[in-house]
């Protein structure tokens, strides 16, 4: 079949009428673009000859010019045994990205099926796949803090030989991923838990905030005249006894061992002094103390008040132990100022506790409007600052992190998996890589398929299949 010779296009004469000349020049440009003589080669027209020469079609009747596609039929030497390779899953927040290597089945390939289960058991994946795709990537939408398992298999299309679709083997083992927890919910739960630990009420500036009152007589108001609140602490300077304000805010409760008090109050003794009588019962008292509860506390407080304006510094050291294994050790430092019903508190709680001999934990809590960590060698800039519920860090190294919403001015990312990319939010930049996005394969040239963005050569978007 002799190839038709396409003649050269004569240039437009310069002596023509300007309007006619512009028209002919535009026609000449359009023809040369379609012939591939100018412009991008991807804009070149494809002819029947191109399809036949590329083995994508075969010649039929010359009268009707029907181009019949070439259908690759399987042969005994081409069994269907391709199993998806390198199936991987990567979790984000409510998305899981599942990827696998491209198939090597050529035109026999029909689709890839993805099967999913909440446990690592293919038998629980249901009666049908969760998705069927042609490419080698799929995104699943799930809930926060969810683990899913995935299996992939290839499906061969029906041919005149097979008559029906053929299903390949599933990938093995399953690929799994876990989405990140809902950060806002986790922070709320942690905050509630930490606020419930001993000592937090001494730092709180809410209506039930605790304060330490150090005086000899039972207080009826706070230092400076403020109303008493539940959980306030009174240190009796006459005998060193500590009292706490009850939850109903109507009485002071002595911070002492109730079993020991009951034993002492009900004990009959003889003699002129309690000391002499107690000497005979010392072993009983020690036994009760060791078998029930033991408490030790020290409180210091400094207060300055003028016309109801108060500044105070308080510290509390306390330890408790019980026969059930309930243990608590706590150190509280509070610095506060109060003026015209406006109170500001900075403080620290360091504690450790255990319940019934288990669940031991330690904690350190700070309260302040601003929290700063200074570099000991350079006091000009603080590398870590918390201000107005926002954390500022000059430099950070994070091995594994979850960020709900990110704004990045300058980033170097070695490996990235992007579930959704909004192009209208990319102001400028360069995406490099031989294969930006692999969307499938029609043959062995899978690595040649890509989506390419190349500003230097004005190729804004190129979909290329070199095979």
| 87: pLDDT strictly greater than 60 | yes
Asked if residue 377 lies in contact with residue 366, where contact means CB atoms within 8 angstroms, the answer is no
Tokens 């989506």 belong to 451
CA distance 52 to 66: 12
Max avg pLDDT among 9-13, 16-20, 137-141, 337-341: 137-141
The model's pLDDT over 252-281, given as tens digits with 9 standing for 90+, comes to 888 755 555 555 555 555 555 656 666 655
**pLDDT at residue 269, rounded to an integer:** 57
Which residue range(s) make up the domain with 429? 421-467
Same domain, yes or no: 229 and 342: yes
Task: Establish if 374 belongs to a structural domain.
Answer: no
In the predicted structure, residue 230 carries a pLDDT above the cut 60: yes
Q: Which residues contact 387 (CB under 8 A, 6 or more apart)?
A: 369, 370, 371
Residue with tokens 């029609």: 442
Final residue of a structural domain among 333, 368, 403: 368
Tokens standing for 32? 């040369």
Q: How many CA atoms lie within 13 A of 133 on its CB side?
A: 20
Q: Say whether pLDDT at 219 is over 50.
A: yes
pLDDT at 267: 57
Residue 344 belongs to a domain: yes
Cα–Cα nearest to 344, from 203, 201, 192: 203
pLDDT band, very low/low/confident/very high, at 213 (cuts 50, 70, 90): confident
φ/ψ (deg, to 5) at 33:
-65, -45
Q: Does residue 198 share a domain with residue 176?
A: no
Q: Pseudo-torsion of CA 97, 100, 101, 105, nearest 10°?
A: -120
How would DSSP label each residue in 166-180?
EE-PPPSS-EEEEPP
Predicted confidence (pLDDT) at residue 397 exceeds the cutoff of 60: yes
Per DSSP, the residues of 329-381 read EEEEEEEEEEETTEEEEEEEEEEEEEETTEEEEEEEEEE-SEEEE--SS--SS
411 pLDDT tier (thresholds 50, 70, 90): confident
Is 404 part of a structural domain of the chain? no
242 and 330 share a domain?
Answer: yes
Q: What is the share, in percent, of the chain residues with pLDDT greater than 90?
A: 14
To which residue do tokens 């673009």 refer?
A: 33
- Indicate whether 40 pLDDT > 60: yes
Residue 129: per-residue pLDDT: 94
Angle at Cα 123 formed by Cα 120 and Cα 128, nearest 5°?
A: 110
Q: Does residue 370 or residue 5 have the better pLDDT?
A: 370
**Which pLDDT does position 75 carry in this prediction?**
47
* Shared-domain flag, residues 192 and 245: yes
Q: What is the pLDDT of residue 406?
A: 79
Same domain? 177 vs 193 = no
For residue 112, the cross-strand partners are: 133, 154
Cα distances (angstroms) measured from residue 250 to each of 15, 27, 207, 372: 109, 98, 16, 40
Q: Which of 24-33, 59-68, 108-117, 441-450 has the highest mean pLDDT?
A: 108-117
Do residues 227 and 337 share a domain?
Answer: yes
Answer yes or no: do 175 and 201 share one domain. Answer: no
**Token reading at 104:** 């090597």
> Do 192 and 339 belong to one domain?
yes
Average pLDDT, the chain: 75
Is 442 a residue whose pLDDT tops 70? Answer: no
pLDDT number for residue 146: 94
- Between 36 and 93, whose confidence is greater? 93
Structure tokens at 426: 């990319």
Q: How does residue 357 score in pLDDT terms, banded at 50, 70 and 90?
A: low
pLDDT confidence of residue 441: 37
Instruction: Report DSSP state, residue 436.
Output: S
Please, what is the angle between helix 282-291 and helix 258-266, to 10°? 150
How far is residue 69's CA from residue 131's CA, in Å, rounded to a whole number?
29
Task: Provide the pLDDT for residue 447.
Answer: 43
pLDDT score recorded for residue 281 = 52
The confidence band for 379, taking pLDDT boundaries of 50, 70 and 90, is low
In a domain, 51, yes or no: yes
Residue count of the chain, please give it.
467
Say if strands 342-355 and 327-339 run parallel, antiparallel, or are unpaired.
Answer: antiparallel
Sheet holding 390-393, edge to edge: 370-373, 384-387, 390-393
Give the chain's domain count: 4
Among 138, 155, 181, residue at a domain's last position: 181
Last-in-domain residue among 325, 353, 368: 368
Place 434 in a pLDDT band, splitting at 50, 70 and 90: very low
Domain for residue 133, yes or no? yes
Whichever domain contains 114, its CATH number is 2.60.40.10
Task: Give pLDDT, residue 112.
Answer: 92
pLDDT in tens, 117-162: 999 999 999 999 999 998 889 999 999 999 999 999 999 888 766 6
pLDDT at residue 273, as a whole number: 60
Mean pLDDT for 64-76 is 50
Please check whether residue 109 is in contact with residue 445, taking contact to mean a CB–CB distance below 8 angstroms. Answer: no
Question: Is the same domain home to 131 and 96?
Answer: yes
Residues 333 and 214 in one domain: yes
Tell me if 283 sits within 8 A of 263, measured CB to CB: no
**Global pTM value:** 0.52
Cβ burial 151-176 (10 Å sphere, 16+ → b, else e) = bbbbbbbebeeeeeebebebbeebbb
80 found inside a domain:
no
Determine the average pLDDT of the residues in 9-34: 80
**Judgement on whether residues 100 and 171 belong to the same structural domain of the protein:** yes
Residues 199 and 314 in one domain: yes
Q: Report yes or no on 381 lying in a domain.
A: no
Confidence of residue 100 (pLDDT cuts 50, 70, 90): very high
Joined tokens for residue 422: 């909004």
Taking residue 446's Cβ as centre, other Cβ atoms within 10 Å add up to 19
In a domain, 167, yes or no: yes
């Amino acid at each position: 079949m002799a190839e038709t010779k396409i003649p050269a296009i004569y240039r437009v004469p310069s002596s023509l009428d300007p309007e006619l000349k512009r028209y002919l020049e535009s026609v000449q440009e359009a023809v040369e673009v379609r012939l591939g003589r100018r412009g991008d080669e991807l804009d070149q027209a494809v002819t029947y000859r191109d399809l036949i020469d590329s083995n994508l079609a075969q010649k039929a009747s010359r009268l009707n010019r029907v181009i019949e596609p070439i259908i690759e039929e399987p042969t005994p030497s081409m069994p269907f045994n391709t199993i998806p390779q390198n199936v991987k899953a990567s979790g984000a927040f409510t998305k899981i990205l599942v990827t696998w290597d491209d198939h090597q089945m050529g035109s026999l390939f029909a689709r890839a099926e993805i099967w999913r289960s909440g446990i690592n058991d293919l038998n629980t994946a249901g009666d049908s796949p969760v998705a069927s795709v042609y490419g080698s990537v799929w995104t699943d939408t799930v809930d926060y803090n969810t683990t899913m398992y995935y299996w992939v298999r290839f499906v061969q299309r029906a041919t005149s030989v097979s008559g029906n679709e053929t299903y390949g083997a599933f990938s093995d083992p399953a690929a799994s991923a876990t989405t990140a927890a809902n950060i806002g919910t986790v922070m709320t739960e942690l905050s509630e838990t930490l606020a419930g630990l001993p000592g937090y009420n001494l730092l709180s500036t809410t209506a039930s905030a605790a304060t330490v009152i150090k005086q000899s007589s039972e207080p009826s108001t706070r230092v400076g005249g403020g109303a008493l609140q539940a959980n306030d602490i009174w240190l009796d300077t006459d005998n060193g006894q500590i009292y706490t304000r009850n939850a109903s805010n109507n009485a002071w409760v002595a911070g002492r061992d109730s079993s020991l008090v009951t034993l002492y109050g009900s004990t009959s003794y003889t003699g002129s002094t309690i000391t002499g009588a107690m000497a005979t019962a010392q072993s009983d008292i020690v036994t009760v103390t060791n078998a029930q509860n033991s408490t030790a506390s020290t409180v210091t407080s400094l207060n300055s008040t003028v016309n109801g304006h108060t500044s105070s510094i308080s510290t509390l050291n306390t330890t408790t132990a019980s026969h059930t294994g309930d243990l608590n050790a706590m150190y509280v430092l509070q610095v506060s100022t109060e003026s015209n019903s406006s109170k500001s508190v900075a403080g620290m709680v360091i504690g450790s506790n255990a319940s019934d001999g288990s669940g031991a934990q330690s904690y350190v809590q700070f309260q302040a409007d601003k929290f700063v960590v200074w570099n000991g060698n350079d006091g000009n800039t603080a590398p870590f600052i918390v201000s107005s519920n926002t954390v500022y860090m000059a430099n950070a190294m994070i091995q594994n992190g979850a960020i709900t919403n990110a704004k990045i001015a300058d980033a170097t990312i070695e490996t990235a998996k992007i579930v959704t990319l909004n192009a209208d939010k990319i102001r400028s930049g360069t995406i490099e890589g031989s294969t930006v996005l692999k969307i499938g394969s029609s043959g062995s040239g899978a690595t040649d398929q890509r989506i390419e963005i190349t500003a230097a050569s004005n190729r804004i978007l190129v979909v290329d299949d070199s095979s």
